[in-house]
Amino acid sequence: MDSRFIKPSTRQHLLRIKRRLCCWNQAVLRDVTLRVIASRLEKADGKSIRARALLEKARLVKPKSDALWTGAVWVEERSGTPAQGKALLARALQECPTSGIVWSMAIWSEARPQRKARSVDALRNVRLTHS
């Protein structure tokens, strides 16, 4: 969402939240949820590059976090680079092969005829680890 389309009151609220997030120390920002929220706030403010950087730094700390990978794919898709999003999704499947949310995104990113085959792959990979 472009920052031009956000209501002024919402924009002020986003700026206050961003200021608070910037003040927190690194120990607090190791929390995955806060990193994803911070990246979404940056994206809502029109700063896709900053959102990517936040998630990239967080993935260096916690490479097996499916929430960070899905957040990065979300940012890429909303930034208008779906090819980059698909590449990130492929890396996410390598890093988190048993994550249901990552497999769900992979299924929905495929064209309709390939979704059935992709969902069979997902069931096979997730079922192998949970049985």
What lies within 8 Å, CB to CB, of 66 at 6+ separation is 92, 96, 99, 101, 102
Q: Provide the residue count of the chain.
A: 131
- Tell me, what's the pLDDT at 1? 45
- Tell me, what's the pLDDT at 23? 63
- Tell me, what's the pLDDT at 28? 56
- Tell me, what's the pLDDT at 110? 87
Q: Can you tell me the distance from the alpha carbon of 105 to that of 70, in angstroms, rounded to the nearest whole number? A: 8
CB environment 50-62: b (16+ within 10 A), e (fewer): bbbebbeebbeee
- Tell me, what's the pLDDT at 6? 52
Give yes or no for a contact between 107 and 115, defined as CB atoms under 8 angstroms apart.
Answer: yes
Q: Can you tell me the distance from the alpha carbon of 10 to that of 129, in angstroms, rounded to the nearest whole number? A: 43
Tens place of pLDDT per residue across the chain (131 aa): 445 545 556 777 777 777 776 666 455 556 888 888 888 888 888 888 999 998 998 898 888 999 999 999 999 988 888 899 999 999 999 999 988 899 999 999 888 888 888 888 888 888 665 54
CA atoms within 13 A on the CB side of 28: 8
- Tell me, what's the pLDDT at 129? 58
Query: Locate tokens 């896709």: which residue?
Result: 48
Q: Can you tell me the distance from the alpha carbon of 30 to that of 13, in angstroms, rounded to the nearest whole number? A: 23
Q: Can you tell me the distance from the alpha carbon of 65 to that of 128, in angstroms, rounded to the nearest whole number? A: 20
Reduced to 3 states, what is the DSSP secondary structure of residue 18? Answer: helix
Structure tokens at 115: 């979704």
- Tell me, what's the pLDDT at 46? 87
Domain spanning 3-95: which CATH class is it, in words?
mainly alpha
